Amino acid sequence: MNRIDRLYALAEELRAAGPRGRTARQLAARFEVSVRTIERDLSALGQAGVPLATKQGRTGGYSVDRSMSLPPLNFTAREAMAVAVALSRSEHVLFARDSRTALQKIVAAMPPRDLDEARTAAAKVRLLVQPVPAPDGQIAEQIWRAVRDNQVLRIEYTDVGGIGTEREVEPQHVVVGPNGSYLTAWCHLRQEDRVFRMDRITRAERTATPPSRPLATGDLQVDGYETKLPDAALRPEDLFPTPT
């Protein structure tokens, strides 16, 4: 997490904690940095106008006004439960932290009565999930950035037979499936589209090589599966007909 993202997440963490607040040591453990780094970040937030409050003593720590970063949200208990269920279905390493902070924002903005109702309802739901091999977090992040920015990757890959190769690939999609996560890419070594299990990629680094293939635009075709497109959830305007 870069510093800008950490500062924003730090403010949200404190706002969600409410009057109880968090100690610098708790925040350092949460964000996997030193206490000194957290103290510098808190100083920067204060200088930027974030209304921080400090409390001395054994139970002391830092807190922030809950209303400073979110406008009022009108999530119903059922809506909050639906989001919690949806996020719980996938704990992919690429999205786990962002899923947590997204749900944290919803929870922090809800009235206590609706939140209690959502928690009671969610306790009645159970999800069956199949454990799958998880890719290395840092490698997955490098892969994702290359996919997002259309950059060529140099990877070390170990196939199902245990044979390792180094190759340059032009990423197309990150594919999250029930049996693991994959990278689809044009492979310079094989000169064709290939699919790579992300947990078998042992090293990934972006290169300065310009991509030579057009971006893939077609939907994936995998026997026995349907392809879901998450970007559709970010286009609520498509739910309504266009006026003629």
Give the pLDDT score at 145.
93
Residues of the chain with pLDDT > 70, as a percent, come to: 89
Say if residues 16 and 65 touch (Cβ distance below 8 Å): no
Q: Is the pTM of this model over 0.75?
A: no
* Segments of the chain scoring below 70 in pLDDT: 57-60, 65-73, 216-219, 236-244
Domain 137-233 architecture: Roll (2.30)
Closest CA to 115 of 147, 76, 151: 76
Give the pLDDT score at 155.
97
Beta-sheet strands, E only, within the chain: 52-55, 61-64, 153-158, 164-177, 180-187, 192-197, 201-206
Give the pLDDT score at 66.
59
Give, in words, the CATH class of 3-64: mainly alpha
Give the pLDDT score at 40.
92
Give the pLDDT score at 167.
95
Say if residues 139 and 147 touch (Cβ distance below 8 Å): no
Give the pLDDT score at 165.
95
- At 162-207, the pLDDT tens digits run 999 999 999 999 998 888 899 999 999 999 999 999 999 999 999 9
DSSP state for residue 125 in the 8-state scheme: -
Give the pLDDT score at 73.
58
Q: At what angle do helices 3-17 and 96-109 cross, to 10 degrees?
A: 40
Say if residues 199 and 133 touch (Cβ distance below 8 Å): yes
Say if residues 42 and 10 touch (Cβ distance below 8 Å): yes
